[in-house]
A and B are shown apart, each in its own frame.
Chain A
């Protein structure tokens, strides 16, 4: 099955810093999503991005499908950005489980 690797596993930042999170996947996908799991455990959809680039406020994401990786950029980080960021992929249509990476744990201090 598809393997999903995220790096770095942990990231500690001061408020205002920028960061880049990476997701590598082992096969072609037609669904790639980034999630933020907040300290209360909720999974928040950030991006649906099987290819291309998207931006939403201070966050942006780029997926290079041909090279099998995706990047999540967080600019001017805030303490509320803390939590775990997951990349998840699926190779087929709906009905296939999303395969999640192990996540990047981000801690932003003021």
Chain B
């Protein structure tokens, strides 16, 4: 089954304790992205990657790091989490180059609900 998976799905942690949220897709997509969703602010892009070893900042990158060493994986790293990073996080993927069908349709993972105390 074609899908985007995220782990963990739920996480409660404390300020300053480094954490990694993993994201993996099995659709051979070049493009992967992270969003966060907050009440009243909607979904905002944190980082994205057009391909292996190619990453770039989105709208709200402060406090986050990413890496793209393999095509299928795009982990989100919080080196020193703070309470303002409490949010619902989504990973998404899509093709990056035009092809038949729905060329740029983005597929979202199930979400990771993070609470930082």
CB-contact partner of A43 in B42, B56, B111, under 8 A: B111
Is B107 within 8 A of A45, CB to CB? yes
Within 8 A of A (CB), among B1-58: 30-31, 33, 35, 42-45, 48, 50, 56, 58
Given A95-B48, A97-B48, A90 and B104 contact (CB-CB distance below 8 Å): yes
Is B48 within 8 A of A31, CB to CB? no
CB-contact partner of A94 in B35, B44, B45, B104, under 8 A: B104
For chain A, give the interface size range.
20 to 34
Chain B interface, >50% SS class: strand
**Residue B59, interface by CB 8 Å:** yes
**Residue B95, interface by CB 8 Å:** yes
Is B43 within 8 A of A94, CB to CB? no
* Given A94-B96, A95-B31, 10 new contacts (CB under 8 A): A41-B88, A43-B90, A48-B102, A86-B43, A94-B94, A95-B50, A95-B56, A97-B48, A101-B42, A103-B42
Q: Which residues of B contact A (CB under 8 A)?
A: 30-31, 33, 35, 42-45, 48, 50, 56, 58-59, 88, 90, 92, 94-98, 102-108, 110-111, 113
